[in-house]
Amino acid sequence: MKVFVQAVNFNADKELVTFVEQKVATLEKYYDRIVDTEVFLKVQKTSEKENKFIEIKVNLPGDDIIVKKECKHFEEGINLSIDSLKRMLSKKKLKPKSDTVKKI
């Protein structure tokens, strides 16, 4: 699975990018047909403490899942986003495909 990390309004250090890639790689356990993942890390120039925005877009065959979080730290936002994505991907995996279900 490819992971694209984009930092907006700041330069992301290598440790943050590695952290993001490791966390996103765990999603393959929950859904094995992920095409790629795009992660956007943004910093708003405001006086508020929660000025870090995280957006993760998971590209699936025929569908996309997007999660957005706003936190004080990128690591916290990534962890919350990954937890949400794990739940969504587990539900998607369990949902029966309508074209394979036969009606009697």
Q: What's this model's pTM, rounded to 2 decimal places?
A: 0.85
d(CA 69, CA 78): 8
Q: Domain residue spans in the chain?
A: 2-94
Q: In what order do the strands lie in the sheet with 63-71?
A: 2-8, 36-43, 52-60, 63-71
Phi/psi at 80 (5° precision): -65, -40
Class of domain 2-94: alpha beta
d(CA 89, CA 77): 18
Read off the pLDDT of residues 61-95 as tens digits, 9 standing for 90 and up.
Answer: 988 999 999 999 999 999 999 999 999 999 887 87
